[in-house]
Structure 1
Amino acid sequence: MALHAGIEIDGSDVSIAVVDSTAKQTVIIDYIEAKIIGDSSEERLASLESVLHGALENHGSKTIEVVSSIPTRMSTLREISVPFTNEDVISKTIRYESEGHLPSASIDDLIIEFIKCSETEDSSRLLISAVQKKIVGAHLEMLREGGVDPVQVEVDATALATSLHVSRPDLRGGRTLLIGMEAGHTTFVLLEEGRVMKIRSTSNHLQPSAIPSLATSATGSASGTVEGFETTPSESAVEFADLMQGSESDEDPGGEEELAIAVVSDEDFERLNAEMTSSPTLPPADPEEVIGRLFTEIERTFAGILMRSPLDRIVVSGGAACDLGISDRLAEEYEVPAQQLRVCDEIETGMPMALIDRCNRSGGVSVGLALQSAGQGLTRFDFRKEEFRYERRFAKLLPGLMLMGLILCFMSVTWLVESHREKQYRKAEYETVRSNEEAVYMARFGESPKSSKPNYMRSAENKISALKGVGSGSTRQKLVQYLPGMDLIKDVTGGVSSANPKVYPTWKSIEINGAKKKNGVSTVIFEVPDAASGERVITALEQRSKYFNIEDDIKPAGDRKKVTLKLKLKSSITETDGRR
């Protein structure tokens, strides 16, 4: 399960909120505030890396998705109208539509994001925010040095609006002015029926941290530059501060002062404003003076809106707002309910009370960023576009995987081609063997087997067995085999002549049956002088004969003896298959 973290880096101040969000509940499980220390940029980067590692590694092996923010004062804000209502069409044409409203910078050097504030049947009113690409690149590089790659980058104003939207659903209706005040700058967000309508960021002359800012000195104007980590106020910044003091004093400004204010463009206003805010040499401001300037800025920025429709409530956030207690002063001044945004009072948390108090005091932006990462953001503000588009781990591995896939595909095709060639070769070889078998079979037997796909070897064996009289299984013999007749006669005469002492019989008849049958009988008749001679002949024949078993019959024939022999083939001969 993934955790979600929001990281706000504003000058030397870092705040991190970690949220565990599921479909059933959202829990704030950690909140960290830290200072970036060091004199050189390398030391400050090392300090930031230590802060990020210490904050995120405390949560073990769980995956943490991070969303970070760029201060609103580092962007250029404009309200424009476009002749489209479909957000996909607006996304494709926003650069072209915005170009005329950002004349001081090349549109190719900017990343532009928008919020749709309202729409009619054929047009939409947009709030656009433009940030230089090098600012976004420097921000991402700074976080990567700390081992963090955020999935999204937005402005702190929209993150603060997300915190209000999620933590106080009861305040979504009507018109709400959300004010985030920290030392050095104040952010205003006007919401109507839960939608962001206007955003503004100004300096408040409160003493910011004296530690050099880790962020670049790029200002809110589109023409700001990213030179280094330390900033110093320019002469124009001091002059602009004097103009601001003169214009907001109790006395009516003179004509020259009014002319000076009138000729300051929006780009110069935001650039000089950011330079004053980032300056470590501004003197501390009087709280009453700061609150007076706050009222003046509200009336200057929202006068036209407030004339059409009054506010329903004011919500304040930030450590400076809490220290100055501006919620009571705002409620008294504008006669509407005003309250401090306490995100941990409405969102479940498992932190100790000390962390809850710190989170309620200054954690509005970082908690909003974490909620954005968890998919609960009020807007879809994201500066990670074009060359800075976020790529998840799999997307980063995708080129290598695609190359590996191409290699495997090539190897597979090669293997298939080789396999096909081998198959064709084996097939041709098989056809040649079959053709040769058929030719041999036809030459030997003169006809083809009856089967459509014959097995020539088996057919030849069956054919030879049939010719030899051997059937398959219990099939009876089809042909009768014969033993050589002369061999049988020699077997009989040789046995008779082997009698000892010699006997010279008188042969009467020799009938030899050479058929290899169990019931086949051969008959031999001869005469001998006496019975003893007949017995010697029979005994010698039984011992000598290789083919026959002998049945004898001796009868008198005058003064001689007639011997009749019935000769049967031995079973060892009749049971063989004829192959010798």
Structure 2
Amino acid sequence: MAQLAVDYGSDKVRLLEFDGSGKRLRVLGFAEASLNGAAVTSGEDAEEAAATRDDLAADSIAKAMDEARFADDPSGMAWPAGQTLFREFTLPFTGDEQIEKVVRFESESHIPLDIDDVVIQHQVLRKTRDKSHILAVAVKKDDLLDRFDVLEESSIDPMFVDLDVFALLHALKGTGVAGEQECCLVLCAQDHATSLLFMVKGELYAVRSLRMGAHGIPRQGQTAGGGMDDDIAAARGADFISRLERELRRTLTTLPGVGELQAVHLLGAGSDIPGFEDMLQRVFASAAVAPLNLLERVDHKLSDEDAVRFGPDVGVALGVAYKLAGMDLTETDFRREECAYTRKFDQVKSPLIVLSFVLFLIVALKGIDTFYQLKKVRNEYGTLLTDAREQLNLLVGDNTEARAVWEQLEFGPHQVQAISQAFDRRHNELALQLGRSSKIPPQPSALAVWTELSTLLIEHQDEIGRLTLRKIDIDVGAREPIMRFSGRVIDANRYNDLIDLLNADGLYMGLKMGDLSPAPDGEYHDFGETSVKIDIDELNRRREG
């Protein structure tokens, strides 16, 4: 099922359609909607200007969605770090429950805004023996609601909103970049902000968002546009690189625990301006500085041209996709309080559909198995009854009379019992006709033995479980009447229960167990020839009773 990841930046909205799971995610398409066209004409007041910008932004996003033909639900969104307030502080304990209870109140003293006007999320960056270093992030509720109104015009209602740097962390984890070095920096330079993610041993150590970007600065091999002189553009680029270099050096002095960096990964179109990599190599002399194309690490359907064009900017949207597919490393979501997601059922709709299908499949397979087991028992009774009816026909000599014994009864044990009783009645009638006594000693009957055995098994089927008799031989004419049988049971315990059941019945004696071994399919156990002697006197007593 296709899903939509939205990277709602300051000047662009990046849209990524994907399917699959976190372990095997596939990018189906990528598109951008520019927000630079949302210009404000002179003379408009603030409220009219905001409405104009929102309308133009909504039109731009809707156009991009229509042209790309992306699915709009389910979806998730990333919020730009450049429009977010960051604060770091330390708490004198490490318990997650304690942190959860006090972090909002502690943040209130660090954030210069009304606590009721913002949504606050936090991340535990690291812990020592008795302290926790916390990163608190605040986003204005009004700004969030404005973005939701813009997206609503394109039928996009994101299930969650995460910070773009946290989304980028998911992309680094999902693609395996995070664990490749002991210590590395991921630098994402966009048009209006530059984000820094310091990773130590595959985990997030520190986050910085610098409100400086490469807007209007030509990239490698480009010339200045928009009527800007090339010299002015070059000066702006040099100024940006110089200011960024100072900020990087200052940031490193505040992070003594980072250690020596092995790599600096570059993301964002801003990292492609002339002199950018050279500056980073000066600052991080021992680190390998190189662009990072996350598209190369996932399956995608983009053309080669689009992969090169969008590769530097796909990281945040890709991270949203990983989180939407089930990977949630930070457990942060700015859709809370007044900004909460109202279509909660949509969050569990897909898992419920999968669960319902699995349950249906289990019930269906169980039903099919039961059907075939019943069919097998029915076939066994059919074979037994066919032989019994033929013998009864021979004994009675009248097919109509013989059929009257069993045809009105339910197929199965009832017909077997009726035929057995018919044999007994005929036997007694013959005894009277001979005139020796009121009856003659009953003749041993294999059918009677089978009737007793099948009745015993049916009465105790819950104890012995599913039983299949592959072969049964009842020899009542031998000097010592004996019954031999082999078959299959669920497990060894059920075979022992069967043996105990026969030993407890006075009809059987001298039982010898057969060999027991697992069946080829591994689910059942086969038992070899099991023999038991028949007490003919006990059998006759039961028949007479």
The TM-score, its normalising length taken from structure 2, stands at 0.54
Deviation at 1:385, TM superposition (A): 1.2
Question: 1:22 and 1:165, CA in 2 relative to 1: closer, same or farther beyond 3 A?
Answer: closer
2:322 match: 371
1:108 match: 116
User: C-alpha deviations, 1:442-477, integer Å up to 9, x for none?
Assistant: xxxxxxxxxxxxxxxxxxxxxxxxxxxxxxxxxxxx
Matching residue's letter, 1:45 = D
CA distance in 2, matches of 1:205, 1:60: 31
Question: 1:49 and 1:131, CA in 2 relative to 1: closer, same or farther beyond 3 A?
Answer: closer
Matching residue's letter, 2:132 = S
User: C-alpha deviations, 1:38-85, integer Å up to 9, x for none?
Assistant: 445555434433443444457879663222122212221111122443
1:76 match: 85
Q: After superposition, where does 1:480-499 map in structure 2 within 5 Å?
A: none
Matching residue's letter, 1:391 = T
User: C-alpha deviations, 1:277-302, integer Å up to 9, x for none?
Assistant: xxxxxx85532332222221111112
Residue 161 of structure 1 pairs with residue 169 of structure 2: yes
1:174 match: 182
Residue 299 of structure 1 pairs with residue 308 of structure 2: no
CA distance in 2, matches of 1:23, 1:295: 36
CA distance in 2, matches of 1:308, 1:63: 41
Q: After superposition, where does 1:416-565 map in structure 2 within 5 Å?
A: none
1:316 match: 266
8 A contact 2:241–2:275 mirrored in 1: no
2:104 match: 95
2:212 match: 204
1:14 match: 13
Given candidates 275, 289, 307, the residue that maps to 1:356 is 307
Matching residue's letter, 1:203 = R
1:288 match: 238
Question: 1:333 and 1:310, CA in 2 relative to 1: closer, same or farther beyond 3 A?
Answer: same
Q: After superposition, where does 1:6-45 map in structure 2 within 5 Å?
A: 6-22=5-21, 25-36=24-35, 37-39=37-39, 41-42=50-51, 44-45=53-54
> Aligned to 2:7, what secondary structure does the other structure show?
strand
User: C-alpha deviations, 1:72-104, integer Å up to 9, x for none?
Assistant: 1222111112244343442333211212222x2
CA distance in 2, matches of 1:39, 1:295: 32
Matching residue's letter, 2:336 = K
Residue 341 of structure 1 pairs with residue 292 of structure 2: yes
CA distance in 1, matches of 2:18, 2:150: 23
CA distance in 2, matches of 1:108, 1:290: 36
1:426 match: none
8 A contact 2:5–2:77 mirrored in 1: yes
Deviation at 1:393, TM superposition (A): 5.7
2:445 match: none
Question: 1:206 and 1:86, CA in 2 relative to 1: closer, same or farther beyond 3 A?
Answer: same
User: C-alpha deviations, 1:208-227, integer Å up to 9, x for none?
Assistant: 59xxxxxxxxxxxxxxxxxx
Deviation at 1:184, TM superposition (A): 2.8
Question: 1:310 and 1:174, CA in 2 relative to 1: closer, same or farther beyond 3 A?
Answer: same
Deviation at 1:331, TM superposition (A): 2.9
Matching residue's letter, 2:171 = S
1:525 match: none
- Out of 152-161 and 164-173, give the one that drifted further: 164-173
Matching residue's letter, 2:13 = V
Residue 394 of structure 1 pairs with residue 348 of structure 2: no
8 A contact 2:6–2:76 mirrored in 1: yes
Matching residue's letter, 1:303 = T
Question: 1:295 and 1:140, CA in 2 relative to 1: closer, same or farther beyond 3 A?
Answer: same
Deviation at 1:308, TM superposition (A): 6.2
User: C-alpha deviations, 1:294-337, integer Å up to 9, x for none?
Assistant: 22111111213257622221111111102336235423441211
> Aligned to 1:204, what secondary structure does the other structure show?
coil
Question: 1:147 and 1:313, CA in 2 relative to 1: closer, same or farther beyond 3 A?
Answer: same
CA distance in 1, matches of 2:196, 2:177: 19
8 A contact 2:4–2:71 mirrored in 1: no
8 A contact 2:127–2:133 mirrored in 1: yes
For CA contacts below 8 A with separation 6 or more, give which structure has more relative contact order: 1
CA distance in 2, matches of 1:290, 1:341: 21
Question: 1:185 and 1:17, CA in 2 relative to 1: closer, same or farther beyond 3 A?
Answer: same
8 A contact 2:175–2:297 mirrored in 1: yes
Gapped regions of structure 2 (runs ≥ 5) = 41-49, 218-231, 348-545
8 A contact 1:341–1:364 mirrored in 2: no
Percent of aligned pairs sharing the same letter: 24
8 A contact 1:16–1:33 mirrored in 2: yes
CA distance in 2, matches of 1:61, 1:294: 37
Question: 1:63 and 1:15, CA in 2 relative to 1: closer, same or farther beyond 3 A?
Answer: closer
Matching residue's letter, 1:349 = H
User: C-alpha deviations, 1:136-180, integer Å up to 9, x for none?
Assistant: 222222222332111111222222222222224464542221111
Given candidates 122, 134, 138, the residue that maps to 1:130 is 138
Q: CA RMSD in A?
A: 3.0
8 A contact 1:154–1:383 mirrored in 2: yes
Matching residue's letter, 1:340 = P
> Aligned to 1:297, what secondary structure does the other structure show?
helix
CA distance in 1, matches of 2:14, 2:70: 22
Residue 331 of structure 1 pairs with residue 281 of structure 2: yes
CA distance in 2, matches of 1:33, 1:59: 10
8 A contact 2:81–2:165 mirrored in 1: yes
Deviation at 1:109, TM superposition (A): 2.0
Question: 1:16 and 1:61, CA in 2 relative to 1: closer, same or farther beyond 3 A?
Answer: closer
8 A contact 2:33–2:64 mirrored in 1: no
Residue 383 of structure 1 pairs with residue 353 of structure 2: no
Gapped regions of structure 1 (runs ≥ 5) = 210-282, 397-580
Question: 1:134 and 1:63, CA in 2 relative to 1: closer, same or farther beyond 3 A?
Answer: closer
The count of aligned residue pairs is 323
The TM-score, its normalising length taken from structure 1, stands at 0.51
Matching residue's letter, 2:333 = D
> If you compute each CA radius of gyration, which structure gives the higher value, 1 or 2?
1
